Chain A
Amino acid sequence: MCGLTAQARALGILPAMRLAEARSIVPDLINITEEPALYEQYQARIMRHLDRYSPWIAADRALARENLAGQTGFWLEMTGGIHLFGDEETLMAQIERDLRHMGFACQSGMADTAGAAWACAQFLTGQPLRTLSLPADHAKARQLPVAGLRLPTATRATLHRLGLHHIHDLADLPRATLTTRLGPEVLQRLDQFYGRLPEHLNFQLPSQPWLMRQQYGEPLGDAANLEAAITQLVQSLCQDLQAHHKGLRRIILRCIRVDGHTHTVAITTSSACQSAPHLLRLLAEKLPGVDTGFGIEEVIVYAPWVENIAFRQISLEAQNPSASDTIALNELFDRIGHHLGPKDQLYRPDHHASHLPELAASKKPVSAKGTCPRLAESPLPARPIRLINPPEPVQIISRAANGLPLEIRWRRMALKIENLRGPERICPEWWHYLNQEGFALAEETRDYFHIQDQTGRQLWLCRHLVRRDRHIEDENTHPHTPSPQPDFFRPPCAMLPQPDPDLWSVHGLFA
């Protein structure tokens, strides 16, 4: 008999009782055939639910095997994760409430060791907080019953017959006699309870089938042999992926040499890929770097990043040759991207909503979706086709009366300005000047002019304002600050060359 309801237990029916015996107590007993599959299903459901508290979950197999009362247990490794839920009390209350909401009765306990936590959850009843922190709660731990040690039923009966009911009865006995009389398990469980022996829990980890491993009795000493081995592994991995409608984004190839040296090649693709020829081509570029040495005895191919793929039929109407195939295009970008050096860039241009021209053009990776080189809703005045960043400073040769340049020197060429349009004023971003007034007159304010020189070249000229009165202001605001230099070192102000009130630079070229 297994899996009793609370009502049945109240009537005196015990787990592992025979059906006839139970019928003699309760004649109108309803019995249902045991369904292990259903049990597994519920266990998996609870485990999926508990995943939200901690990724490390272990089912209590001993309880499921021996205890026929329809109970099950789970261990959660909560080390370092309790603060996410408040404190221990809140966490346990939340777990119990959630499980009760799902329709399961539940008891929880928390302790430093797995054994103590088990005992807490089972036997520390009536306490407001079922936690056991061992050096502090030593007295509480000693009062727990011997059944909290997860001993087999026979051992428990022996202990009961000997009058050893609580843990302190056992702990006070000399250790040597315990093993000879009761077997090694009692001491082992007791040590695991107190944390003197480690306990290995069988944590449920996600299954990772995207790994192919091949060991060779005769080490592969030839690059051609290695290539053949890798080809075979990658092909079988891709077949597996195709069968599951998945594609890999990253593949790691690991070649382990006879002397233990490991060579790892990692490749990331821009879209989920399940085509072996493409992967082999990408890997082939890196394979010359693998040194076979005295031979390679193990090859591992592992896909740590796998995504679902949904293939759709391409519409038959689209016979346009210029419309490109997404998969083939991504494979092309993979090939190009893996060939690039450290200084090379492959990107999709993107438009960032900013008035500052160098910030407006941003770069996104090729695999990024939804990039748009031009935001439709963002206004864009006339912008040059080429942006020189950082701007190239120019020298003003002559100016008009209003301060605008007539002749400039750029790249050692004298340019006579024949046509000048502007200015387009771009102020710095106001949120950098929240506590200051007049941010429009800050030094970062720029004026842009569209100029044309005598040859017809069209440039984007930028003017930075430089506040000439800055030093004077500083002195006025701090009149009592002693000057770092004695006065006679400083030439009179009139002799100082006046700083240029504005800095001019070329920021772009118009078509």
Chain B
Amino acid sequence: MTLAHALLDKRNKIGTFNGHISMTSRLQQARAALLRAEKHWQGHAACVNGGQPVLIKRAFGGIDLGNHFAAGGLMTTGLHEIMTEHHDSAASALAWYMAGLSPHSHQPAKQNKPATRLWVQHRKALDQGQVYAPALFAKQSNPQCALVMMNIDQQQTALWTCEEAAKSGQIGNVILETTDYDLTTARRLQLACEAGSCRLIVLRQHRAGQKIAPSPAWSRWHITPHGIYRKLSLIGGRGVRPASWKVCIDEATLRISVAAPLENRLPPKPHAIPEIRYPAHAGGYGKNKGFSRQGPDLCRHAK
């Protein structure tokens, strides 16, 4: 199959999307498909790590992430950001859960040595006290991963440490708590992650209403209390269709799962849903102006 055929094939598939996807996201999807087709053509797509799948298609108790990422799923490596405030530690749990995500989570990991995780805390970043390590392993009698923690006084040192650890290729997951950083720093971190195939999860301090500085992160998340549940939002990233879900966190295992799977049900195959036409305003999705960055079917629960 030549490149042109692949492209045409993808275009035809994309052509069946009509209705709830706006023009921009269609373009994004087309671009991503083109990129994937090119990589397939060159022979090194989706087999970066020895032929294993590198995208997480399903997470958070069965949410299909493939619909929300132009790449087809959540990247296992690279930079991911979690926006958080001082008074809520759900972001820590989210970071810990994301650090444990793997593309084949249903299979037990066959490892000789436990993969090391590094948790770097910049002292002034989050006013939440220390991470309490026994709670992270509360239900695991034999912890499968070795955890190394750091408390660092200067942000510069914290960022250097993360870059060094990510570049070394010896550490699978780095969690970094830091104050805000600029685009150059984020780009450096992203490149270091790519060099060492490391997943870097940054807990980025963010106040509600504050403008978020741009960054090349693959995904950007936000988690807030929502009654007895939490509202997990995918708010940005590269080629990301934003969405939010109602989730709950298991206190013991720190697993995050969708609170009401039926309510949060994801759209089935695009051709199966009845065609709903929204007036295509320049501003967003017509009826759901309040949730203009979200897909219309995903915010039904927010009354």
Give the Cβ gap from A284 to chain B, nearest Cβ, in Å.
Answer: 14
Q: Is B14 an interface residue (CB 8 A)?
A: no
Query: Does B277 belong to the interface (CB within 8 Å)?
Result: no
Chain A residues touching B, range: 35 or more
Residue of A323, A336, A373, A509 near B133 (CB, 8 A) is A373
**A contact residues around B112 at 8 Å (CB):** 315, 318, 320, 323
B30 located at the interface, meaning its Cβ lies under 8 Å from any Cβ of chain A in the complex? no
A-B contact number at CB 8 A: 174
Q: Are A374 and B143 in contact (CB-based, < 8 A)?
A: yes
Question: Contact mask A358-388 → B, CB, 8 Å, 1/0?
Answer: 0011010010000011101000101111111
Tell me, rounded to whole Å, the shortest Cβ–Cβ distance linking A354 to chain B.
10
Query: In the complex, A325 Cα to B168 Cα: how many Å?
Result: 11
B172 at the interface (CB under 8 A from A): yes
Report how far A500 CA is from B230 CA in the complex, Å: 36
Q: Does A333 contact B (CB under 8 A)?
A: yes
Residues of A within 8 A of B93 (CB): 385, 511
Chain A residues within an 8 Å CB radius of B152: 340, 344-345
B165 with A332: CB separation less than 8 A = yes
Q: Which of the 9-residue segments B19-27, B67-75, B220-228, B286-294 touches chain A?
A: B220-228
Q: B residues 117-175 with Cβ under 8 Å of A?
A: 123, 128-138, 140-143, 146-154, 157, 160-161, 164-165, 168-172
Nearest opposing residue in chain A for B130, CB measure? A387
Instruction: Mark each residue of chain B from 46 to 74: 1 if its CB lies under 8 Å from any CB of chain A, else 0.
Output: 00011000000000000000000000000
A27 CB to nearest chain B CB (Å)? 74
A374 vs B145: C-alpha distance when bound (angstroms): 11
Determine whether A343 belongs to the interface, using a CB cutoff of 8 Å to chain B. yes
Residues of A near B50 (CB, < 8 A) are 319, 321
Name the B residues within 8 Å of A180 (CB-CB). none
- Which residue of chain B lies nearest to A324 when distances are taken between CB atoms in the complex? B170
Instruction: Tell me the complex Cα distance, A376–B147, Å.
Output: 16
Query: How many angstroms between the C-alpha atoms of A320 and B49 in the bound complex?
Result: 9
Which residues of the partner chain B approach A343 to less than 8 Å between Cβ atoms? 123, 153
Minimal Cβ-Cβ distance residue in A for B249? A511
Chain B hits for A332, CB < 8 A: 164-165, 168, 170-171
* B148: contacting residue among A325, A348, A386, CB under 8 A: A348
Chain B residues within an 8 Å CB radius of A416: none
**Residue in B116, B129, B160 whose beta carbon sits within 8 Å of that of A324 in the complex:** B116
Assembled-state Cα–Cα distance A127/B153 (Å) = 71
Query: Is residue A200 contacting chain B, with contact meaning CB distance below 8 A?
Result: no
Q: Which residues of B contact A382 (CB under 8 A)?
A: 138, 251-252
Cβ-defined contact, B115 with A383, below 8 A:
no
Inter-subunit contact A328/B168 (CB<8 Å): yes
Question: For the complex, is A347 an interface residue (Cβ under 8 Å from B)?
Answer: yes
Residues of chain B contacted by A348 (CB below 8 angstroms): 146-149
B129 touches A508 (CB 8 A): yes
Nearest chain B CB to A207's CB is how many angstroms away? 36
Selected interface stretch from B4-12, B82-90, B181-189, B264-272: B82-90
**A383 and B132 within 8 A (CB):** yes
Given A380-B138, A385-B254, A509-B89, A344–B151 Cβ distance below 8 Å?
A: yes
Chain A, residues 385-428, CB within 8 Å of chain B (1/0): the string is 11111000000000000000000000101000000000000000
Say which residue of B87, B148, B165, B252 sits within 8 Å of A457 (CB atoms): B87
Complex-state Cα separation, A380 to B154, whole angstroms: 34
For B160, what are the chain A residues with a Cβ–Cβ distance below 8 Å? Answer: 339
Q: How large, as a class, is the contact surface on chain B?
A: 35 or more
Q: Which residues of A contact B146 (CB under 8 A)?
A: 348
Q: How far is A293 from B109 in the complex, measured between Cα atoms in Å?
A: 57
Whether the Cβ atoms of B113 and A349 lie closer than 8 Å is no
Q: For B252, what are the chain A residues with a Cβ–Cβ distance below 8 Å?
A: 382
**B228: A residues at CB distance < 8 A:** 452, 456
Do B135 and A456 touch (CB < 8 A)?
no
Query: Is residue A346 contacting chain B, with contact meaning CB distance below 8 A?
Result: yes
Are A386 and B131 neighbours in the complex by a CB distance under 8 Å?
yes
Q: Is the CB of B149 within 8 A of A509?
A: no
Residues of B within 8 A of A357 (CB): 132
A510 is an interface residue with CB less than 8 A from chain B? yes
Chain A CB within 8 A of B219 CB:
no
Question: CB distance A511 to B115 under 8 Å?
Answer: no
Residues of B within 8 A of A266 (CB): none
CB distance from B85 to the nearest CB of A (A): 10
| Distance (whole angstroms) from the CB of A241 to the closest CB of chain B | 23
Chain A residue nearest to B94 (CB atoms) is: A511
- Complex interface: chain B residues within 8 A of A363 (CB): 149
Q: Are A336 and B161 in contact (CB under 8 A)?
A: yes
Is B90's CB under 8 angstroms from A388's CB? no
B106 at the interface (CB under 8 A from A): no
B129, B227, B230: the one within 8 Å of A387 (CB):
B129
Q: Which of B88, B226, B227, B254 has the most CB of A within 10 A?
A: B88
Most buried by B among A319, A345, A510, A511: A511
Is there a chain A Cβ closer than 8 Å to B29's Cβ? no
- Say yes or no: A341-B149 contact (C-beta < 8 A), given A321-B50, A373-B133: no
Check A24 for interface membership: any CB of B closer than 8 A. Answer: no
Q: Are B172 and A322 in contact (CB under 8 A)?
A: yes
Q: Please determine whether B88 and A509 come into contact, CB atoms closer than 8 angstroms.
A: yes
Q: Which residues of A contact B137 (CB under 8 A)?
A: 373-374
Q: Which residues of A contact B49 (CB under 8 A)?
A: 321
Query: Once the chains bind, are B161 and A361 in contact (CB under 8 Å)?
Result: no
List 3 A-B pairs, minimum CB-CB distance, nearest first.
A456-B225, A349-B133, A511-B93
| Given A361-B132, A384-B89; 17 other pairs, CB 8 A cutoff | A320-B110, A321-B197, A324-B115, A325-B170, A328-B169, A332-B165, A332-B168, A345-B149, A346-B149, A348-B148, A360-B134, A361-B133, A373-B133, A376-B141, A385-B93, A387-B130, A509-B89
**A-B pairs with beta carbons under 8 Å apart, 6 shown:** A324-B115, A324-B170, A340-B152, A361-B130, A374-B138, A380-B134
